[in-house]
Amino acid sequence: MKAYVFPGQGAQYVGMGKELYENYPAARELFEQANRILGFSITSLMFSGTDEDLKQTRVTQPAIFLHSVILARILGSNFQPDMVAGHSLGEFSAIVAAGALSFENGLILVSKRAQAMQRACELRPSTMAAILGLEDETVERICAGIQAVVVPANYNSPGQIVISGSIEGIDMAIDQLTAAGAKRAIILPVGGAFHSPLMEPARAELEKAIDQADFARPVCPVYQNVTALPARDPDGIRENLKKQLTAPVRWTQSVKNMLADGADAFYEAGPGNVLQGLIKKVDRNVWAESVKI
């Protein structure tokens, strides 16, 4: 069974999507539509901007979404997923690619998500850190015992969890997790505490936009971040999406569940190959590669 997976923030690079734009009229049309919807030329920033341009959250998230969704669209009849999943932002790409949300509504939600997250980041200094070499339960227990905001945010693969929270909470957690045997603890170059309670203002803002969007039944199950379980009911997909910004990304659990449900080939649609590496860490024998057109 084929599983298509869609990357999140951090996979961007200058020049992303340019080949699609130049070689496929259908892709060019969607990119130009995106420029009109967003009110600025995101294609200029994607194709010939700077690394700093692409690091702006308001640019990064729509750019990765566009690259991923347009790539899936160009596959046409060759895009026949048995299941889909996306990492954080990538969940929006997965939902659109699977037909549960229109291209336009998906892009509008992603743009609003990026802006809401940026505003939430400016309210309070916060950050994230990758913790390598500890069991999930150890990270969860230590974070729960700290009297400051810090939570597990991304369950990326066995032995790799990203924690998220206030500057104070992250510093305290790193000290305790290192003492508990973590091989590495790396502060990430992000603007704030994604997938933590500090994103509540963004979650509340995005919830209103999600309520206004029309959701349909997807062509295949969507394994969602909040539950790591397959969803096909439009209302269920909507509700899980509302919770995503303040809940952890259960990627390890999602991959394990897709494997248990019969996935034997994973195709990463979008820039980079980060998800392939994470999937291989869950099961080193599984087939995982980038989408080829």
Query: Domain 2-122+197-290 carries which CATH code?
Result: 3.40.366.10
Structure tokens at 101: 């949300």
- By percentage, how much of the chain surpasses pLDDT 70? 100
- Does 292 score more than 90 pLDDT? no
Residue of 154, 78, 65 whose CA lies nearest to 111: 65
What pLDDT is attached to residue 140? 98
The reply to whether 124-187 shares the fold of 2-122+197-290 is no
Residue of 119, 120, 94, 118 whose CA lies nearest to 106: 94
What's the CA gap between 198 and 202, in Å, rounded? Answer: 9
Ramachandran region, residue 35 (left: φ > 0; alpha: ψ -120 to 50; beta: rest): alpha
CATH topology of domain 124-187: Alpha-Beta Plaits (3.30.70)
- Mean pLDDT, the chain, integer: 96
- Does 293 score more than 90 pLDDT? no
What pLDDT is attached to residue 55? 86
pLDDT digits (tens, 9 = 90+) for 102-146: 999 999 999 999 999 999 999 999 999 999 999 999 999 999 999
pLDDT digits (tens, 9 = 90+) for 211-249: 999 999 999 999 999 999 999 999 999 999 999 999 999
- Does 201 score more than 90 pLDDT? yes
What pLDDT is attached to residue 57? 87
Where in the chain are the domains?
A: 2-122+197-290, 124-187
Residues with active-site annotation: 88, 195
**Can you give the pTM of this predicted structure?**
0.96
What's the CA gap between 184 and 130, in Å, rounded? Answer: 8
- Does 47 score more than 90 pLDDT? yes
pLDDT digits (tens, 9 = 90+) for 63-110: 999 999 999 999 999 999 999 999 999 999 999 999 999 999 999 999
pLDDT digits (tens, 9 = 90+) for 51-66: 988 888 889 999 999 9
DSSP assignment string, 125-172:
-EEEEEEESS-HHHHHHHHHT-SSSEEEEEEEETTEEEEEEEHHHHHH
- Does 190 score more than 90 pLDDT? no
- Is the CB of residue 54 less than 8 Å from the CB of residue 60? yes
In this prediction, residues 247-269 reach a mean pLDDT of 98
